[in-house]
Structure 1
Amino acid sequence: MTRGWTAVPPVVAQEILRRAGGSKVFPAATGDHAELAVSLSGPRGPIFVKGASSPLGVRSLRYEVQANRNVNRRYAPAVLWDLEAHGWLVAGFEHCDGRPGDLSPGSPDLPLLTAALSELADQPAPDGPWLRPHARLGFDHPELHGDTLVHTDLNPANLIVTANGLRVVDWAFTTQAAPWLELAMLAPWLIGSGHTPLQAEQWLAQHPTWADTDPEVVDLFVTGNAEKWARKSQQSSAAWMRDLASWFAAWSSHRGRNV
């Protein structure tokens, strides 16, 4: 989906460069969902810029800007500025210099993530038109609902390990939901990083919000996602869809809910 710098109208590009105070543009190293995702380097230092012009892209970027302005600053990059012009919404974010997180068993990054999850579990959702569970997942249950801001996409590329600790980026799918949903959405990435489904659940169990969740509701979540990603992977050649289908299928099988 990424279209890159050349897709931005020249007048918008000029305003971005003016606000960023730089002229060197570098494509984002990872991710393919944003229409514009670049790093800009200049005398004021690097910043990260995202932009969108499609209705879905603009709506997602609005969620991200609003989330980053409300989430614990220790983890979410600051929003430096945003602008709307010629059908584009563009935002400049604090640049997080580091490496992607490692979610493999025994990784030293896992304790960093444990601390972040514990703090972010109490992040209240301010008033606003946030995504809700049904819109994010494609299915619903009363136990999915809550008043917490949930990132819902803690894949390794969105976990940046910097010299000053862990940062969490790309809040485009921020959802107002129950805090246990964050942990449930993390599980397939743990499995994809080398945990067995049992090991993933054991790691999640250290968090009270997971231990207190009704197992039948977890079954519904796992089965619903296994069915969804199995269907999506048959309709697309995208490797990440096949991966999610495989990881949710393994988790579903572990819980005795074969799809």
Structure 2
Amino acid sequence: MATTRIGLDRLPPAARAAFEKHTGTLLTVKETTEGFNSEIAARVTSTTGTWHIKGLRTDHPRAWTQRRESNVAPFLTGLAPTLHWHVETAGWDLLGFEALDGHHADYAPNSPDLPEVAALLRRLGETPCPDIELRHAEQRLERYAARPADLRHFAGPHLLHTDLNNTNVLVDDYAPQGDRARLVDWAWATRGAAWLDAGYWVIWLIAAGHTPASAEHWATKIPSWHTAPTEGITAFAAATANIWSEISKADPNPWTMRLATASEAWHAYRMSH
């Protein structure tokens, strides 16, 4: 469920003063509308540079996502924007990231962004999973798997992002080819089987207009996908169809319905092959 967004100007003066120790005086503030996890989300310029600030009240039910992002950030070089500071004061938890230039990835068939996203997921697959507290994929999928035995397919020691919404991928057209994409919003970072992020990408590709076969073709660009057992992929498709069915019923809107339709189409495709 989306979190209600508020403006940076609604922060207590003490919280603003705390982060301005890092940024200097703000010159411009542009609130951002993408993303669902933050109460505060803004791109700001200051006397020292440009920043992306995101935050939640410390008593917010998902305040833990701020700590998760702060803990994982040091291990994401070349994958995500750099976290420069973390402030917790006056009832607010605030993160200050480098502000990336670029556009949200286009997942449509034939998009020039698709090879960049595949390259990003390959880099993620080569990144060691840090020894920090992370949810386990088999725990997150436990309620949704068709059979308890399916959960063994999802377990593993690899670092996963798990939220491959195209708005979480920024592509910089001016960066070197093959290194243009970055993943933002690591609140749902997870430890699990290496191929799962390619699986999460498949669902978003179908939602963007790919056939299930085309989406799986792009997944094959990720080496870890080739390690996935056929029955494991099918079990994951079943679990994600159950997840998006639940989400779309609890919060029916065009995008949740689109993901529910896409995940069900993938599951049907897996069952027919």
Q: Specify if TM > 0.5.
A: yes
CA-CA distance at 1:98 after TM superposition: 1.0
- Contact (CA 8 Å) 1:35, 1:57: kept in 2 or not? no
Identity %: 31
AA at the equivalent of 2:185: D
The alignment status of 1:89 with 2:89, answered yes or no, reads no
The alignment status of 1:21 with 2:31, answered yes or no, reads no
Where does residue 250 of structure 1 map in the other structure?
A: 265
Between the aligned partners of 1:220 and 1:88, the Cα distance in structure 2 is 40
- Contact (CA 8 Å) 1:122, 1:148: kept in 2 or not? no
The alignment status of 1:161 with 2:174, answered yes or no, reads no
The alignment status of 1:132 with 2:130, answered yes or no, reads no
Matching of residues 114-129 of structure 1 within 5 Å: 114-129=118-133
- Contact (CA 8 Å) 1:105, 1:194: kept in 2 or not? yes
Where does residue 148 of structure 2 map in the other structure?
A: none
Between the aligned partners of 2:259 and 2:171, the Cα distance in structure 1 is 23
- Contact (CA 8 Å) 2:144, 2:243: kept in 1 or not? no
Aligned alpha-carbon RMSD (Å): 1.8
Between 1:22-31 and 1:181-190, the stretch displaced more is 22-31
CA-CA distance at 1:105 after TM superposition: 1.7
Q: Deviations over 1:209-254 (max 9, x none)?
A: 2122111111111111212221321222333321211110111111
Q: Which 5+ residue runs of structure 1 have no aligned equivalent? A: none
- Contact (CA 8 Å) 2:34, 2:167: kept in 1 or not? yes
- Contact (CA 8 Å) 1:22, 1:40: kept in 2 or not? no
Where does residue 15 of structure 2 map in the other structure?
A: 12
CA-CA distance at 1:154 after TM superposition: 1.8
Between 1:173-182 and 1:234-243, the stretch displaced more is 234-243
The alignment status of 1:47 with 2:51, answered yes or no, reads yes
- Contact (CA 8 Å) 1:204, 1:210: kept in 2 or not? yes
CA-CA distance at 1:7 after TM superposition: 4.1
CA-CA distance at 1:121 after TM superposition: 0.3
Between 1:61-70 and 1:180-189, the stretch displaced more is 61-70
Q: Deviations over 1:19-48 (max 9, x none)?
A: 222322211141232111111111222100
Q: 2:236 aligns with which of 191, 202, 221?
A: 221
3-state SS, counterpart of residue 152 of structure 1:
coil
3-state SS, counterpart of residue 114 of structure 2:
helix
AA at the equivalent of 2:197: E
Q: Which 5+ residue runs of structure 2 have no aligned equivalent? A: 146-150
Aligned residue-pair number: 256
- Contact (CA 8 Å) 1:50, 1:91: kept in 2 or not? yes
3-state SS, counterpart of residue 228 of structure 2:
coil
AA at the equivalent of 2:199: A
Between the aligned partners of 1:61 and 1:134, the Cα distance in structure 2 is 22
AA at the equivalent of 1:50: K
Where does residue 60 of structure 1 map in the other structure?
A: 65
Q: 1:105 aligns with which of 109, 123, 141?
A: 109
Matching of residues 180-219 of structure 1 within 5 Å: 180-219=195-234
- Contact (CA 8 Å) 1:130, 1:174: kept in 2 or not? yes
- Contact (CA 8 Å) 1:132, 1:145: kept in 2 or not? yes
AA at the equivalent of 2:133: P
CA-CA distance at 1:64 after TM superposition: 1.2
- Contact (CA 8 Å) 1:136, 1:173: kept in 2 or not? no
Q: Give the structure-1-normalised TM-score.
A: 0.92
The alignment status of 1:70 with 2:75, answered yes or no, reads yes
AA at the equivalent of 2:34: T
Between the aligned partners of 2:184 and 2:30, the Cα distance in structure 1 is 18
3-state SS, counterpart of residue 162 of structure 2:
coil
AA at the equivalent of 2:161: H
In the superposition, relative to structure 1, how do residues 110 and 96 fare at CA in structure 2: closer, same or farther (>3 Å)?
same
Where does residue 148 of structure 1 map in the other structure?
A: 158
